[in-house]
Amino acid sequence: MENKECIFCKIARKEIKSEIVGESNSFIAFLDINPKAKGHTLIIPKNHYVTLLDIPDKLGNELLSFMKKISSELLEKKQGDGFNVIMNNLEPAGQLVKHAHIHIIPRKDRDNLRSIV
């Protein structure tokens, strides 16, 4: 499934240039255009799903493995000493683009970034 007008679908189809840092069968990772920290990466499904609830269960293992791979690479590249994994689902939770996406945000000691938890 895809959405012709969705910006993340266009990135997944490589119609819009982005700095891709990884790709699996069903997911793609690219640097956030408005990063909260150096190396801030978005992971999106290549197919159009709006929230976590819409991503098929059968993709769960692939998604988890891909998130771990991207997060490990950020640490190996010394982008951070730790990282946050954040997913906003629906507008009240702060989702701006209606295509499921996960933020991997590298963190360093005293980086002054705030978390909601």
Query: Hey, which residues are catalytic here?
Result: 101
* Burial letters 44-82, b for 16+ CB under 10 A, else e: bbbbbbbbeeebeeebeeebeebbeebbebbeeeebbee
Provide Rg for the chain, Cα atoms. Answer: 14
